[in-house]
Amino acid sequence: MIRTRNYLSQSVQSLRPSGIRRFFDIAATMKDVVTLGIGEPDFVTPRHIIDKSIDSLRAGQTSYTSNSGLLELRCAIADYVGGLYGIEYDPNDQIVVTVGVSEAMWLALRTILDPGDEVLVPEPCFVANAAAVEMAGGVPIHVDTFVEDHFQVTGAMLEAAVTPRTKAILINYPNNPTGAVLSRERMAEIAAVAEKYDLLVLSDEIYERLIYGVEHTNFASLPGMYERTILMSGMSKTFAMTGWRIGYVCAPREIMEGIRKLHQYLIMSAPTVGQYAALEALTHGEDDVREMRGEYDKRRRLIVDGFNQLGLHCFEPRGAFYAFPNIGVTGMSDEEFCERLLTEERVAVVPGSAFGRSGTGFVRASYATSRERIEVALERMARFMRRHG
Ligand SMILES: Cc1ncc(COP(=O)(O)O)c(C=O)c1O
C-alpha cells in the first residue's frame, strides 16, 4: 500500500533547514572551490592523541564506559577546567562526557525546559541553537546584537526580552559566527539579569581556547554564577578533534542528575575510543593548542586585513576562527553575494542571515584553512569586488 500520510511530526516539519547546508551542497558539485565555509579545524588531530587512541583499541578497550564517561577522563576534565578557571566540579556527579557539545546542548535544554518555556538566544549565533531550543519544546527568543557593539550582548538587550516564561539564557562566547569575545563587564551584565530574574545560563564555551590577545571569561566562575550555569565545552575545536565526537557538560548537582538520566537513555556512553583520545588531549595537548592558536592568529590577520582592503568592512574577531565582514558595499543581499561568489569565483562563504536576523548583510568566512588557500580566496574575491564593488 502506498503511504499517504505525512509521517513527519509537526515539530520536525516546522524546523528550518540549516542555511549552511545548502551552500555546501552547491559547492560539492563544483571543482576547484576554495571553501571558507566549514566551521572545523583543517589540522589533523595531533599524532600522539591518535596513537593513544589506537593503543586503547589494541588493548581491547572497545566496550561501553561508565554512563558518565571514563572516571579518569572526568577527573582530567575537572583538573583542566579547575586549572583554567579556578572552579571545582566533582568528577563523580557534576561532569558528564558527551557526544560533542551538540549532545551537551541537547541534554541541557531538554533537562530544563517545559513546553513553552522561553530561552533568550543572542544572535548571530551557531545555526543549531534556536533549533535545539525548539526540539526541546522551548521557544527561542532572538536577541539581536550589532557590529556597533562588537556583537556583544548587553544586559539591557536581554532584560528587554525577559518575560514570565523566560527560563534561561543561551550564550556562546567566543562566538560563532562573529568571533566576538565578551568582556568581563558584559558577562557581569548577563549575570545580573540571570540573578534578577532567577534564570539559568547555558554557556557554550567550545572556542574558549581560541582567543587572540584577549581573555576569555568563564561564565560559571563569575561571582554567584556557579549555581546558575550549565557549562558546555569539548575537544572538537581546541584539539582539532571534530570527528571524535567528544564534549562535556558540567553543572550543579541537581541539574546534573537530570542530565545524566537523559544521557544514559539517549547515548549510553560517548565513544570509548574518543574518550581515550580526549584523555590524552587534555593531559598532554597544551603544546598543540598553543601551536594551532598561533597559526590561526596569523590567518586571522591575513583575512581581516584582506577583507578590509577589498572594502568589505570587517569587525576584528578576537576568538574562534571566523571573520564576519559586512558586504553592504556590493548592494547585494548576503545570500546573493554568497551564491554569485561561489558560481563566479568558486569561493564558498556562508550568508550571515543563516545565523539569525542580525547577521543579515554579513558573511561568515572561516579561516580554519591554510594561508595559501586564504590568499587564493582573497585574490578571487578581489576580482569579484572589481566587478561588483
Ligand atoms: C558554537 C558551537 N557549538 C557547538 C558546536 C558543535 O560542537 P561539537 O563538535 O562539540 O558537537 C559547534 C560546531 O561548529 C559550534 O560552532
Q: Tell me the pLDDT tens digit for each residue of 325-355.
A: 999 999 999 999 999 999 999 999 999 999 9
Ligand 1 close to Cβ of residue 102 (< 6 A): yes
- For residue 136, what is its C-alpha cell? 526541546
| CATH 3.90.1150.10 domain range(s) in the chain | 10-45+287-388
17 — pLDDT class (breaks 50, 70, 90): confident
382 — pLDDT class (breaks 50, 70, 90): very high
Ligand 1 close to Cβ of residue 101 (< 6 A): yes
Ligand 1 close to Cβ of residue 41 (< 6 A): no
Quote the pLDDT of residue 389.
75
Cβ 311 vs Cβ 389: under 8 Å: yes
CATH number of 10-45+287-388: 3.90.1150.10
- For residue 68, what is its C-alpha cell? 558518565
Ligand 1 close to Cβ of residue 236 (< 6 A): yes
DSSP 96: E
Cβ 91 vs Cβ 77: under 8 Å: yes
Q: Specify the CATH number for 63-285; select among 3.40.640.10, 2.40.50.180, 1.10.8.50, 1.20.1290.10.
A: 3.40.640.10
Quote the pLDDT of residue 19.
67
Cβ 238 vs Cβ 216: under 8 Å: no
4 — pLDDT class (breaks 50, 70, 90): confident
Cα of 329 vs centre of ligand 1, distance in Å, is 31
d(CA 320, CA 210): 5
Burial class (CB in 10 A: 0-12, 13-18, 19+), 319: buried
Ligand 1 test: best mutation among 45, 77, 101, most atoms within 8 Å of CB? Answer: 101
12 — pLDDT class (breaks 50, 70, 90): confident
Cα of 268 vs centre of ligand 1, distance in Å, is 21
Ligand 1 close to Cβ of residue 171 (< 6 A): no
Cα of 101 vs centre of ligand 1, distance in Å, is 6
pLDDT exceeds 80 at position 22: no
Cβ 122 vs Cβ 136: under 8 Å: no
Which neighbouring-strand residues pair with 156? none
d(CA 386, CA 178): 26
Mean pLDDT of 205-233: 98
Residue keyed to cell 538520566: 261
pLDDT exceeds 90 at position 135: yes
d(CA 349, CA 35): 7
- Single-letter amino acid code for the residue at 181: V
> Within 13 Å of residue 21, how many CA atoms lie on the same side as its CB?
5
pLDDT exceeds 90 at position 253: yes
Task: Work out the number of other CB atoms within 10 angstroms of the CB of residue 298.
Answer: 12
Cβ 218 vs Cβ 233: under 8 Å: no
| Mean pLDDT value across the chain | 96
Measured CA to CA in angstroms, residue 250 lies from 102, 125, 226, 354, 375 at distances of 14, 22, 10, 29, 40
Sheet of 363-366: strands edge to edge? Answer: 322-323, 363-366, 350-351
pLDDT exceeds 90 at position 186: yes
Quote the pLDDT of residue 166.
98
Residue nearest to atom 15 of ligand 1 (CA): 126
pLDDT exceeds 90 at position 383: yes
Q: What percent of the chain has pLDDT over 90?
A: 91
How do residues 27-82 score in pLDDT, each as one tens digit?
Answer: 888 889 999 988 999 999 999 999 999 999 999 999 999 999 999 999 999 999 99
Quote the pLDDT of residue 200.
98
Do the strands 34-35 and 347-348 form a parallel or antiparallel pair, or are they unpaired? Answer: parallel
Nearest to 363 by CA among 347, 373, 350: 350
How do residues 150-184 score in pLDDT, each as one tens digit?
Answer: 999 999 999 999 999 999 999 999 999 999 999 99
Cα 167 to chain center, whole Å?
Answer: 21
Ligand 1 close to Cβ of residue 68 (< 6 A): no
Is the peptide bond preceding residue 223 cis, with omega within 30 degrees of 0? no
Residue nearest to atom 4 of ligand 1 (CA): 101
| CATH 3.40.640.10 domain range(s) in the chain | 63-285
23 — pLDDT class (breaks 50, 70, 90): confident
Plot region of 354 (φ>0 → left; ψ -120 to 50 → alpha; else → beta): alpha
How do residues 100-121 score in pLDDT, each as one tens digit?
Answer: 999 999 999 999 999 999 999 9
2 — pLDDT class (breaks 50, 70, 90): confident
Cα of 219 vs centre of ligand 1, distance in Å, is 18
